Amino acid sequence: MRKYIFTGIAAAGLLAAAACGNEENAENNQVENNETSSNNDAEIGNDENEPAPSDEEEEASESDERTVTFPADFMEETDMEPEDLEDSAEEDDTILDVEVHDDGSATYTMTEEAHSEMLEQMAAEIRTNMEEIEDGEEFPSISEVQSSDDFSEFTFLVDEESFEDSFDGFAAFSVAYSGMFYQLFDETESDDYEVVVHVEDEESGEVIDTSTFPDDMDEMEE
């Protein structure tokens, strides 16, 4: 189950990058199609005489880029091949480069605009997931899910008796993995990212369980 959740979250994030890129590509293509041939000829002539960018311009361009590194254990869980990652960079203008390292980790370089849009989308999806856990029928012992602003910490308010006699603890997997994925995209160092999930009895306010991801995920799966 852990693998399916992890893969789904990873795929959703990477598809979000592709979606951002495809929307921009469509807009750019529309603009290009509306240009006259005379303008195109003029642009070609200008390109031939255009000077090379200065060091300052190159530095400014690099400042508009963001890098995201997925650790090796993350990549192993997703079953994504290096070729697939490299192909995604070639097909998407917002993903500028993908480098697969010898240790199995992978680094994405993307535009700042795409990076910001992806973070906003991920945050919205995490909040939606929290609401679905609260309001749905799948996890009846959970009445409320709270989180920190950066999604590094979650608190589940539960009915202790019902919670302990159920499998509702699996809800922690989805929010924890989403939180870890968000932190990686927020450029947290790949060795430092973690999510802490507290389970608190709604009536007494007592914390009855605390798990830290990814450290405790094998134990929770048993």
DSSP tag of 169: G
Place of tokens 């009855």: 208
Sign of CA dihedral 111, 112, 114, 119: positive
Instruction: Report the DSSP beta bridge partners of residue 157.
Output: 144, 200
Question: Rounded to an integer, what distance in angstroms lies between the CA atom of residue 12 and that of residue 179?
Answer: 13
Token pair in block for residue 81 = 């091949």
Whether omega for the bond prior to residue 82 falls within 30 degrees of 0, making it cis, is no
Q: How far is the CA of 53 from the CAs of 48, 58, 60, 61, 102, in angstroms?
A: 13, 6, 11, 10, 33
Spans of all domains in the chain: 2-112, 115-221
Tell me the one-letter amino acid at 90.
E
Ordered per-residue pLDDT tens for the chain, 222 residues: 444 344 444 444 544 444 444 455 445 555 455 554 445 555 555 555 555 555 544 444 456 888 888 888 777 766 666 677 677 667 777 778 888 888 888 888 888 888 898 899 999 999 999 999 999 999 999 999 999 999 999 999 999 999 999 999 989 888 998 898 898 888 776 667 889 999 999 999 999 999 998 887 655 555
